[in-house]
């Protein structure tokens, strides 16, 4: 079982955060972005150590962007859990939380801090608030403490004083191991150990040196207070009861010559985490828990980078533990360390950032990035080598190899810019396979600004290797988007061996390929001058890695489409819609499509030729596969500003190119 979705509303830094997560979570982000508050939000739902008072919030816990509207607002934290292994014990806890029976099975638990429903009016103070924790979608479906007890969030604060916790019997993770040891001793074993302790006590205290020290103390005390007030004294081991002695056991280092207090802070942290790991395993093995969500804040404290990577590979499940069956533990880390991020499973990364416009923290997760298995493997290899710096970057420059990786920062220095100060990372992909990195950093991934620096490469068999690569990347970055805002001139060699230049009419990026398109009337396309140059232009464009086509009216084989085209072309020079008519028409069509009859009967009274010209110009759309009639539905383009890009002189067929199969 793992947390697969986190939704936070109106809490601390978060206005609305909705992310889907992997089996573990590694929360990264800048200082004060809300990593601890993210963890605190999960605690409100899952931490059994929080008291009733801890779960009651103050106005300071509401999102600051609410301003004066905090009182009356609702704070909500929802967690969704996914169970793929169909573990009966875990499914039992999720039975009252189901939102999808699957497979996989998905349950939801929600913490909601709200005004009391029986107030009879708006709340006037925080005393008018209450919290509910419910399963599924019904606020009346109360979730008790059993789920929090058996599938808890176990939070370990920043590891800055592990020595103190190890020394405290109450909080030490060594305590349950000692208590388990005491429980496993039989009566005979206990009697044998107690006898050995008593014998050792007698042997030690009977030595003349020990008795001499005790006598010196007793003599001095008698000299000070007299025989009437003195206290009988002797030296011995204390305590001598077995249970008390077991509680006094301490971990020693360096062959038993020194205690934990003499160890480095980093060593104490390592020992603490090892003991904690054993404790979590024992709780599940003994049936005291069914699953643990183990959370650590800033786990890198005082740990050498190599140790950071080694120990958190264990907790993040990227290192085999020798156990069969599904994992009984999920890990949540908040970190500034690229070394820990470098060993994190890619799907576990959650990136928090502050949105200046909204004034709230937003988040993205790599769990939903559209990556193939090969993409993930490639990225995981890279991230493990570069220590996860890209997760902490404000921008990334993707380059092919080490030469660019060293030269680009040097160029920036010459220009008086520091990439480190700007938070920009130069990332070498070790080749030309940029696609996985573009997916990870792009709009459907972590949304980190990036650029790709590549080159044309040598031409192989009259084809550039770089241009097709760029074309594939453009499909990843902007699938289905037309390109070519500026004119593109093609240089080619004609039949006489002379260099010529030509500007095609269109450059169109389709779902499967990109191409240049020439749009001409049939008579112009067949003119001897043009027929002679088309093959040479096509050869030059093919050398760039693109296709080339000449489109004329004969390509419109569908008769209704041809009739519509002929009709629209006759109106390409008709008067344009007036400004008033355009404004009213845009407002009407923004709400819903209108029939041509309704448009012509509207109050602005647009003329039919003006509407047909707007259709011809691409400012309005209709189904050209059916005859244009008063019943034809007219709508706005999906993006009013995105029409087919003209690269050269406007052609009356410019808007038609994308209609051709």
The answer, yes or no, to whether residue 366 has pLDDT greater than 70, is: yes
**What domains, with CATH codes, occur in the chain?**
2-152+289-353 (3.40.50), 164-270 (no CATH), 369-454 (no CATH), 556-659 (no CATH)
Instruction: Supply the pLDDT for residue 100.
Output: 87
CA distance 261 to 223: 39
Instruction: Supply the pLDDT for residue 555.
Output: 60
CA distance 460 to 449: 32
pLDDT band, very low/low/confident/very high, at 265 (cuts 50, 70, 90): low
pLDDT: which is higher, 406 or 473: 406
Per-residue b or e along 392-429, where b marks 16 or more CB atoms closer than 10 Å to that residue's CB: bbeebbbbbeeebbeebbeebeeeeeebeeeebbbbbb
Instruction: Supply the pLDDT for residue 323.
Output: 46
Which is it for the CA torsion 265, 270, 276, 282, positive or negative?
negative
Number of Cβ atoms within 10 Å of the Cβ of 578: 15
The answer, yes or no, to whether residue 648 has pLDDT greater than 50, is: no
The winner for highest mean pLDDT among 14-23, 155-164, 426-435, 487-496 is 14-23
Number of Cβ atoms within 10 Å of the Cβ of 352: 23
The winner for highest mean pLDDT among 70-84, 221-235, 621-635 is 70-84
Three-state secondary structure call for residue 56: coil
Over the stretch 183-193, which tens digit does the pLDDT of each residue have?
Answer: 778 888 878 88
Q: H-helix or E-strand containing 81?
A: strand 75-83
Instruction: Supply the pLDDT for residue 536.
Output: 93
CA distance 268 to 166: 8
Determine phi and psi for 351, rounding to 5 degrees: -110, 120
Crossing angle between the packed helical segments 208-225 and 187-205, to the nearest 10 degrees:
70
With pLDDT > 70 as the criterion, what percentage of the chain qualifies? 79
User: If you write DSSP's letter for every residue of 623-659 in order, what string do you get?
Assistant: -TTS---TT-EEB--SSTT--PPB-SS--TTGGGGGG
The answer, yes or no, to whether residue 42 has pLDDT greater than 50, is: yes
Residue 269 sits at the vertex; the CA angle it makes with 265 and 271, to the nearest 5 degrees, is 115
CA distance 345 to 438: 18
CA distance 361 to 328: 31
With pLDDT > 90 as the criterion, what percentage of the chain qualifies? 23
Per-residue b or e along 260-285, where b marks 16 or more CB atoms closer than 10 Å to that residue's CB: beebeebbbbbbbbebbbebbeebbe
95-108 mean pLDDT? 86
Instruction: Supply the pLDDT for residue 180.
Output: 75
Which is it for the CA torsion 53, 58, 60, 62, positive or negative?
positive
Mean pLDDT of the chain: 80
Instruction: Supply the pLDDT for residue 365.
Output: 94
CA distance 153 to 297: 13
Please, are residues 79 and 5 in contact by the beta-carbon 8 Å criterion? yes
Instruction: Supply the pLDDT for residue 608.
Output: 85
Tokens at 192, concatenated = 């044998």
CA distance 411 to 414: 5
CA distance 60 to 215: 64
3-state secondary structure 337-366: CHHHHHHCCHHHEEEEEEECCCCEEEEEEH
- Identify the CA nearest to 367 among candidates 350, 380, 384: 350
Please, are residues 298 and 161 in contact by the beta-carbon 8 Å criterion? no
CA 597 centroid distance within chain: 50
Question: H helices of 261-360, where?
Answer: 265-285, 305-315, 338-343
pLDDT band, very low/low/confident/very high, at 264 (cuts 50, 70, 90): low
Residue 164 sits at the vertex; the CA angle it makes with 160 and 165, to the nearest 5 degrees, is 90
Strands 129-135, 75-83: pairing is unpaired
336-358 mean pLDDT? 88
Which of the residue ranges 99-108, 349-358, 484-493 would you say has the lowest mean pLDDT? 484-493
CA distance 259 to 500: 85
CA distances from 495 to 18, 516, 528, 541, 543 (A): 61, 21, 13, 16, 17
CA distance 624 to 596: 13
Determine phi and psi for 343, rounding to 5 degrees: -100, 0
Q: What residues have CB less than 8 Å from 485, skipping those under 6 apart?
A: 645
Q: What residues have CB less than 8 Å from 157, skipping those under 6 apart?
A: 297
Tokens at 76, concatenated = 């909500």
The answer, yes or no, to whether residue 201 has pLDDT greater than 60, is: yes
pLDDT band, very low/low/confident/very high, at 658 (cuts 50, 70, 90): very low
Instruction: Supply the pLDDT for residue 385.
Output: 64
CA distance 147 to 98: 14
Q: Which long-range contacts (CB under 8 A, 24 or more apart) does 557-563 make?
A: 558/625, 560/624, 560/625, 560/626, 560/627, 561/624, 561/625, 561/659, 563/627
Instruction: Supply the pLDDT for residue 511.
Output: 57
Instruction: Supply the pLDDT for residue 395.
Output: 92
Please, are residues 63 and 15 in contact by the beta-carbon 8 Å criterion? yes
The answer, yes or no, to whether residue 263 has pLDDT greater than 80, is: no
Q: H-helix or E-strand containing 23?
A: none
Please, are residues 245 and 196 in contact by the beta-carbon 8 Å criterion? no
CA distance 97 to 109: 6
Per-residue b or e along 294-312, where b marks 16 or more CB atoms closer than 10 Å to that residue's CB: bbbbbbbbebeeebbbebb
CA distance 557 to 207: 115
Q: Could you identify the residue written with the tokens 């240089």?
A: 491
CA distance 448 to 396: 7
Instruction: Supply the pLDDT for residue 647.
Output: 33
CA distance 603 to 399: 58
Q: Could you identify the residue written with the tokens 């992997």?
A: 22
627-643 mean pLDDT? 69
259-263 mean pLDDT? 55
The winner for highest mean pLDDT among 248-257, 537-546, 578-587 is 537-546
361-372 mean pLDDT? 91
Instruction: Supply the pLDDT for residue 62.
Output: 95
Report the phi/psi class of residue 136: left, alpha or beta, with left for phi > 0 and alpha for psi in -120 to 50. Answer: left
């Amino acid at each position: 079982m793992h947390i697969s979705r986190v939704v936070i509303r109106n809490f601390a830094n978060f206005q609305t955060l909705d992310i889907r997560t992997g089996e573990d979570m590694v929360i990264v982000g800048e200082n004060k972005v809300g990593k601890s508050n993210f963890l605190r939000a999960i605690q409100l739902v899952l931490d059994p150590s929080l008291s009733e008072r801890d779960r009651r919030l103050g106005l300071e816990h509401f999102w600051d962007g609410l301003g004066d509207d905090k009182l009356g607002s609702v704070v909500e934290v929802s967690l969704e859990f996914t169970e793929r292994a169909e573990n009966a014990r875990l499914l039992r806890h999720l039975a009252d939380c189901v939102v999808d029976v699957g497979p996989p099975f998905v349950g939801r638990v929600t913490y909601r801090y709200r005004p009391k429903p029986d107030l009879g009016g708006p709340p006037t103070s925080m005393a008018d608030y209450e919290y509910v924790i419910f399963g599924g979608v019904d606020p009346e479906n109360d979730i008790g403490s059993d789920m929090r007890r058996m599938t808890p969030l176990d939070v370990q604060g920043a590891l800055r004083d592990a020595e103190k916790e190890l020394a405290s019997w109450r909080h030490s993770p060594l305590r349950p191991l000692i208590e388990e040891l005491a429980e496993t001793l039989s009566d005979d074993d206990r009697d044998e150990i107690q006898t050995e302790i008593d014998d050792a006590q007698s042997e030690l205290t009977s030595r003349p040196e020990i008795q001499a020290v005790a006598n010196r103390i007793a003599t001095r005390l008698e000299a000070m207070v007299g025989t009437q007030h003195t206290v009988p004294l002797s030296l011995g081991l204390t305590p001598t009861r077995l249970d008390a002695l077991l509680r006094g056991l301490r971990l020693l280092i360096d062959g038993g010559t020194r205690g934990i207090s003499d160890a480095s802070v980093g060593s104490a942290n390592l020992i603490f985490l090892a003991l904690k790991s054993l404790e979590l395993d024992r709780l599940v093995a003994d049936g005291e828990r069914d699953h643990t969500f183990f959370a650590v804040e800033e786990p890198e404290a005082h740990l050498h980078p190599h140790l950071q990577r080694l120990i958190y590979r264990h907790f993040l499940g990227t290192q085999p533990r020798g156990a069969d069956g599904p994992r009984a533990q999920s890990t949540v880390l908040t970190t500034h360390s690229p070394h820990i991020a470098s060993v994190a499973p890619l799907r576990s990364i959650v990136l928090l950032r502050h949105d200046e416009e909204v004034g709230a923290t937003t988040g993205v997760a790599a769990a939903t990035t559209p990556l193939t298995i090969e993409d993930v493997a490639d990225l995981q290899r890279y991230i493990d080598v570069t220590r996860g710096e890209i997760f902490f970057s404000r921008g990334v420059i993707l380059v092919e190899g080490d030469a660019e990786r060293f030269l680009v920062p040097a160029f920036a220095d010459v220009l008086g810019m520091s990439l480190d100060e700007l938070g920009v990372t130069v990332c070498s992909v070790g080749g030309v396979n940029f696609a996985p990195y573009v997916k990870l950093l792009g709009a459907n991934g972590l949304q980190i600004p990036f650029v790709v620096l590549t080159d044309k490469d040598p031409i192989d068999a009259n084809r550039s290797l770089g241009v097709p690569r760029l074309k594939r990347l453009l499909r990843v970055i902007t699938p289905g988007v037309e390109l070519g805002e500026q004119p593109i001139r093609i240089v080619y060699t004609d039949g006489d061996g002379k260099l010529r230049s030509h500007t095609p009419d269109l450059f169109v990026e389709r779902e499967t390929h990109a191409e240049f398109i020439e749009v001409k009337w049939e008579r112009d396309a067949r003119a001897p001058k043009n027929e002679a140059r088309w093959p040479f232009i096509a050869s030059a464009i093919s050398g760039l890695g693109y296709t080339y086509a000449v489109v004329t009216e004969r390509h419109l084989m569908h008769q209704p489409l041809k009739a519509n085209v002929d009709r629209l072309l006759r109106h390409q020079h008709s008067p344009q819609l007036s400004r008033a008519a355009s404004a009213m028409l845009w407002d009407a069509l923004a709400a819903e499509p209108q029939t041509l009859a309704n448009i012509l009967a509207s109050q602005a009274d647009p003329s039919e030729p003006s509407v047909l010209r707007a259709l011809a110009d691409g400012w309005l759309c209709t189904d050209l596969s059916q005859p244009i009639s008063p019943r034809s539905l007219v709508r706005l383009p999906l993006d009013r500003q995105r029409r087919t890009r003209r690269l050269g002189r406007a052609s009356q067929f410019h808007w038609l190119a994308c209609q051709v199969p």
